[in-house]
Amino acid sequence: EVQLVESGGGLVNPGGTLRLSCVASGLTFSDAWITWVRQAPGKGLEWVGRIKSKTEGETREYAAPVRGRFSISRDDLQNTVHLQMNSLKTEDTALYYCTTGFCLYGGCHWDDAFDSWGQGTMVTVSS
């Protein structure tokens, strides 16, 4: 069973920085593409960004609202993905989930269907 555990959330002032971590187990981590999704209180899901596997070039993509401020990295030795968040804004306040897809019958769904999720870590940006 795939397990994802996020950490690093907390209260930060506008303009501040925070680094979230996601530790994974139960999967071949080096093959996995990891996505961050956030959910503001009482709101819907919002795709934040994704990092591909090393063999796929560790390509990163980001949603427009966070591009240039957030950065995703991975450490395959530690089965960990990090989300570095800089220049935080009040609108970044949300529960941040890491999530990943799956492979089935020779095909993989890394970017279009997320079947494993962490419990989330809360980020509050407020003065």
Partner 1 sequence: QSALTQPPSASGSPGQSVTISCTGTSSDVGAYNYVSWYQQHPGKAPKLMIYEVSKWPSGVPHRFSGSKSGNTASLTVSGLQAEDEADYFCGSYAGRNIMVFGGGTKLTVL
List interacting residues with partner 1 (CB under 8 A). 35, 37, 43-47, 50, 59, 61, 63-64, 97, 99, 102, 109, 111-115, 117-120
- Smaller CB distance to partner 1: residue 16 or 46? 46
Q: How far is the CB of 97 from partner 1 (least distance, A)?
A: 6
Element (H, E) at 85: strand 80-85
Question: Can you tell me which residue has the tokens 């570095």?
Answer: 84
Considering beta carbons, is residue 11 or 40 the nearer one to partner 1?
Answer: 40
Least CB distance to partner 1 at residue 48 (A) = 10
Q: What is the DSSP string of 28-70?
A: -GGG--EEEEEE-TTS-EEEEEEE--GGGTT-EEE-TTTTTTE
Nearer to partner 1, 77 or 105 (CB): 105
Beta carbon of residue 61, minimum distance to partner 1 (angstroms, whole number): 4
Q: Closest CB to partner 1 among 80 and 99? A: 99
Closest distance to partner 1 from the beta carbon of 15 (Å) = 26
> Tokens representing 124?
């509050």
Q: What angle do CA 51, 56, 60 make, to 5 degrees?
A: 25
User: How many beta carbons lie within 10 A of that of residue 8, not counting itself?
Assistant: 16
